[in-house]
Amino acid sequence: MSSTTSAPVITTDKLTKRFGQFIAANELTFQVAKGEIFGFLGANGAGKTTAMRMLCGLLKPSSGKATIAGYDVYTQTEKIKRSIGYMSQKFSLYDDLTVAENIRFYAGIYGMSRPAIKEKTAQLLKELQLEKEAKTLVSELPLGWKQKLSFSVSIVHDPDIVFLDEPTGGVDPVTRRQFWDLIYHASDRGVTVFVTTHYMDEAEYCNRVSIMVDGVVAALDSPTRLKQQFGRDNMEDVFYELARKATRKAD
């Protein structure tokens, strides 16, 4: 799963987003290879979510270039949306629909056929061990289960890339571990995973990690090499080293 061998599925070149005078994301330039697990780190307010929303076609960039799965972020947003999955920071399943109904709805929106949806639903419920909860309203599930379901729903249409915005916030360590099993499983199938997190143990699970400080990418490499580069034992210390230099206030 080396980043240099396969063709990049995400390419950005000086990608920038300004809100008035404020530069939320400043000249981001990086590439992510197919099947890679790419960690996107940064303190609150560093510009992670803004960058991710631009890559998903939810937000128009101010300047710079970017292609996602070969599609341009300015002109081909709807084509990008066919090739990606997205799990937002906010919980985004319907509380008043059951587990199975949520899967069915999103699969249907992505244009899957009824037999395919049936098959996919059965498969997902089995993977998530939620077979007994198929007819339970999502509002009644514990948070960890909801997040795992959210992730599965975001890749229900087998996208090339999945964007995860702090998917494990507030989730217990055991469930977080299970969540990462799901991520590895998806990555093994060739899905590129672009994930933001505040947990440094999770950063260690990534193939490569970028650390954003004040809207710019301050460091980008594999966790091992980053630790070498900064002369630290763990990612936590590397993160502190960089994030301390931030002048922008956290939100």
Partner 1 sequence: MKTLIFLLEKEFRQILRNKGIVRMLIIAPVIQLILLPLAADYSVKNISIAVVDNDHSTASQRLIGKITSSGYFKLTGYTGSYKAALSMVEQDRADLVLQIPAHFERDLVRENTQKLYVAINAIEGTKANLGGAYLSSIVQDYNQEIRQDWHTSATVSIQDAPQISIASSNWYNPFMNFHLYIVPAILVTLVTAMASMQTAFNIVQEKESGTIEQINVTPIKKYIFITGKMIPFLVLGIIIFSLGLLVGWIFYGIVPVGNLGVMYLSLVDYLFAMLGLGLLLATYSGTQMQAMSLSFFFINIFNMMSGAFTAVDSMPGWAQAIVQTFPPSHFIKIMRMVVLKGSGLSDITYELGAMFVIGLVLNTWAILNYRKTA
Positions that interact with partner 1 (CB under 8 A): 53, 56-60, 77-79, 81-82, 84-86, 88, 90-97, 101, 104-106, 108-111
36-68: b (≥16 Cβ within 10 Å) or e: bbbbbbbbebbbbbbbbbbbbbbbebeebebbb
CB of 198 to partner 1, least distance (A): 19
The dihedral built from the CA positions of residue 187, 190, 235 and 214, taken in this order, carries a sign that is: negative
H-helix segments, 18-142: 48-55, 77-83, 99-109, 114-127
Cβ pair 107, 124 in contact under 8 A: no
Nearer to partner 1 by Cβ, of 138 and 200: the residue is: 138
Beta bridge partners of 220: 210
CB of 119 to partner 1, least distance (A): 16
Cβ pair 11, 66 in contact under 8 A: yes
DSSP at 128 = T
Coil, helix or strand for 109?
A: helix
Nearer to partner 1 by Cβ, of 3 and 83: the residue is: 83
Whole-angstrom Cα distance, residue 178 to residue 196? 17
Nearer to partner 1 by Cβ, of 36 and 165: the residue is: 165
Nearer to partner 1 by Cβ, of 27 and 101: the residue is: 101
CB of 67 to partner 1, least distance (A): 16
Nearer to partner 1 by Cβ, of 79 and 177: the residue is: 79
CB of 222 to partner 1, least distance (A): 29
CB of 164 to partner 1, least distance (A): 12
Nearer to partner 1 by Cβ, of 73 and 235: the residue is: 73
Q: What is the Cβ-side half-sphere exposure of residue 7, based on CA atoms within 13 angstroms? A: 6
104-113: b (≥16 Cβ within 10 Å) or e: bbbbeeeebe
CB of 157 to partner 1, least distance (A): 8
